[in-house]
Structure 1
Amino acid sequence: MSLGTEEKQNLINTHQVHPTDTGSVEVQVAMLTTRISKLSTHLQGNIHDFSSRQGLLKMIGQRKRLLGYVRSKSEKRYTELIEKLAIRG
């Protein structure tokens, strides 16, 4: 499940750190979160799609590593990102 150009630009605009930011950790985590949620809804209807399930697990692992990086650099940025994306409850 890929993101459209308009959807990507919207995510970049809402999560960017500075005006020319397109690849910060916050933006990457936001994009991964959106892709994960789309793929999760796809897998609820297509239970036997094992290759998509494997891709989902890889994306979750990547997001976990990025969040760990943010947490190691700044606990405040990590907390703000988690709250903004409503990932952990």
Structure 2
Amino acid sequence: MYLTKEIKTDIFKKHGGSETNTGSTEGQIALFTHRINHLTTHLRRNKKDFNTERSLVMLVGKRRSLLDYLKKKDIEKYRILIKELNIRK
């Protein structure tokens, strides 16, 4: 599987503060970004996989709402996270 326990703990350690802080906004956005990148590469190979395409659109919407929340709460963390994850805005 593409998302192992080690990859998740690395993501949350880097962006969430600690590996046990899985509910942090920054960690969730980083995890969603990792999943979005994986699904994007999958869809490039499998153009007719419409269920995955729908899942990707829903995941992008969840990430967008979390980014909006972070932008309202702390604009500096938002800007740093956008730059680290290479998310275009």
Pairwise same-fold verdict (TM > 0.5): yes
Higher alpha-carbon deviation: 19-28 or 54-63: 19-28
Q: Please list every run of 5 or more consecutive structure 2 residues that lacks an aligned counterpart in the other structure.
A: none
Q: CA RMSD in A?
A: 1.7
TM-score when normalising by structure 2: 0.91
Deviation at 1:88, TM superposition (A): 1.4
Percent identity of paired positions between Structure 1 and Structure 2: 39
Report which structure shows greater RCO (CA 8 Å, sep ≥6).
1
TM-score when normalising by structure 1: 0.91
Distance 1:24 1:13 in 2: 11
Superposed structure 1 runs of 4+ greater than 6 Å apart: none
The 1:7–1:82 alpha-carbon spacing in structure 2 relative to 1, beyond 3 Å, is same
Higher alpha-carbon deviation: 6-15 or 50-59: 6-15
Distance 1:2 1:35 in 2: 9
**Alignment size in residue pairs:** 89
